[in-house]
Amino acid sequence: MSDLVRVWKEVDIADIAKSLLIIGLSTGDCSNCRELGIDYSSAKACPKCGAVFKYIASRSKEIKKIKNKRPDLIFIDLEDYKKVSGSIKAKDFFSA
Ligand SMILES: [Zn+2]
């Protein structure tokens, strides 16, 4: 029997920001250039900016379905990503 659990790992947030595909209801968005409507089941790179996707995150809870379609990408939790990327932006803001 197998199921999904979240694994905590140290990652380079700047690298994720450049190579993350964010899945909405049925299509994906590029986190690098904000291009919308990307076919997440097949896109290896962003059709607009050319960013190569390495990570995937979802706004919905359909983790298993998306994971099965894209076993080549590292699935991260969108809320985790937003939390750390938001705290980095806040730090940059205060140190500027
Ligand atoms: Zn892009």
Measured in Å, residue 89 CA sits from the centre of ligand 1 at 20
Nearest to 47 by CA among 21, 70, 72: 21
80 occurs within a structural domain: yes
3 falls within a domain: no
Residue 96 pLDDT level (bands cut at 50, 70, 90): low
CB 17 within 8 A of CB 31: yes
| Ligand 1 centroid distance, CA of 6 (Å) | 26
CA of residue 90 to ligand 1 center, whole Å: 24
CB burial string 30-40: b at 16+ within 10 A, e below:
bbbeeeeebeb
Are the CB atoms for 45 and 54 separated by under 8 Å?
Answer: no
Distance 4 CA to ligand 1 centre (A): 29
Residue 62 has a pLDDT of 87
- E strands present in 1-96: 20-23, 28-30, 55-58, 74-75
**How many angstroms is it from 35 CA to the middle of ligand 1?**
5
Instruction: Specify the number of domains making up the chain.
Output: 1
Question: How many whole angstroms from 17 Cα to the centroid of ligand 1?
Answer: 10
Residue 91 lies in a domain: yes
* 50 vs 46: CA distance, rounded Å: 5
Residue 2: inside a domain: no
Residues 23-75 have pLDDT tens digits of: 998 899 999 999 999 999 999 999 999 999 999 999 988 899 999 999 999 99
Say if 42 falls within a structural domain: yes
Q: Average pLDDT in the 16-22 region? A: 96
Q: How much is the pLDDT for 61?
A: 82
pLDDT, position 68? 93
> For residue 32, what are the domain limits?
14-95
For the CA atoms of 54, 47, 21, 90, what is the dihedral angle to 10 degrees?
Answer: 100
- Would you say residue 75 lies in a domain? yes
Cα 34 to its chain centre, rounded Å, is 12
In a domain, 1, yes or no: no
- Measured in Å, residue 79 CA sits from the centre of ligand 1 at 20
- 6 located within any domain: no
